Amino acid sequence: MTSKLLLISLLSLIIAACTSQAESANLPTQLRDHLSQTENSYENADTLWQQVLDGDAAVSCALTITVPEPFDLTVAQAEQHPESVIVRNHLNNAIAILTEIKLLWENECQQESPAVSLSTMRLAVGLLDDAEAEIRAADEAWVAWQS
């Protein structure tokens, strides 16, 4: 009975190690995909707010901004690929800013005023600039890591 338990424990450790190696091998692709999703979210948010700034009457609160979830790294992934931590940090900063932009849009849609205030537009533009900078930094860090 003890040898069966030992064998099961050993097999579990081997499977866990193989899974961890497979996850680490896919990490650059996973981060690149998440970065692409975040870039798409930024482009959509930027387009929406640009339409608001341009006074486009077709802008509707039916339009939404979708933001990906933050990217998680396991401790093992971070230890095996320390460069990925820099990418993840910039990526998650961009996602946090895009979440603010999304909430700003949702809040604006709750207002009864037909026009967006100048202060809200300035805030949106500033947040978009910040998100773009974080995305650019994440992209540059990803390229440096893969070089």
Residue 7 lies in a domain: no
Q: Number of C-alpha atoms within 13 angstroms, CB side, residue 5?
A: 2
What is the count of structural domains for the chain?
1
Residue 59 lies in a domain: yes
Residue 114 lies in a domain: yes
Residue 118 lies in a domain: yes
Name the residue range of residue 112's domain: 27-146
Residue 88 lies in a domain: yes
pLDDT digits (tens, 9 = 90+) for 44-78: 999 999 999 998 877 888 899 999 999 999 999 99
pLDDT digits (tens, 9 = 90+) for 28-50: 999 999 999 999 999 999 999 99
Q: Are 74 and 23 a contacting pair, CB within 8 Å? A: yes
Q: Which alpha helices (DSSP H) does 54-117 contain, by range?
A: 75-80, 82-110
Residue 68 lies in a domain: yes
Residue 16 lies in a domain: no
